Structure 1
């Protein structure tokens, strides 16, 4: 594991709280050659990557490409994992560049019950309300509310369920497991 500098940690921490894990704007005082060196090193280590900027959404530009387009910087899964963001949550959040900033930040906090809920729903076997209640200490109505409100409405995740004879109703995050559900 790479030991991060204070600057690298600050850039990644700020990126983890922004929509789409945007690494820009950089911290105050980091510009010019120092910024180029810091970002170059982080790109080389795989902590951040350059992607095409969506200027319609107002994403900040790192550099212009000369063809009327530009690039921006985003934290990678490896970069977020380096600052302690749960890799399971990182994978879930990877496609949410359009989500609300507060929803992304809340879902990425490691060790929270929401992160635990997401991890349980991503498991191949999914999870029942009773299993989630035992793991989180939540009541059944709170779990159903978190699934429909927090995961489905706020984060835009697709949660599926199916009734199994041996376990009862099992919930899963669509596209995050090996079994096929109809």
Structure 2
């Protein structure tokens, strides 16, 4: 589509402001341009291909195109050509090589630390958790009701301690058995 149609004052002001900015962005728009008017102006410029829409991970931005610059009688400033500097290139290559070697060394050291087996912490005697473990080590094990009486905990707390601390953290093998009275007993094997 061509930009031959007459631009509104607002569209002209937006494109002139974008042409003055180094990156050619249309933001910030005039503070008086809000809501639906803002949307209509942007849609009009997009339809005429005077601006381009760029999607970033966290936002959307609009930039003036070459046609947008031409519509307000401006030309896009081209950046100066890049002239490679052999000394700088050699220094960058050497630094990148050193960083990669250092990263491998640091990663290997970190992997070595992570592969160490954790030292199991002993269970402190006299704690409620020690009471639960002691009760479960008996030949008949212990029911939730018994462990509740010994610790003063509620049933869900006792079951959580068995599942989280006893089984996972201290790596005990817990067996559950249903007795003749219908009560479930937990026993450490």
TM range (shorter): 0.3 to 0.5
TM-score (norm 1): 0.41
Q: Which has the higher contact order (CA 8 A, sep 6+)?
A: 1
Q: Between Structure 1 and Structure 2, whose CA radius of gyration is higher?
A: 2
TM-score (norm 2): 0.39
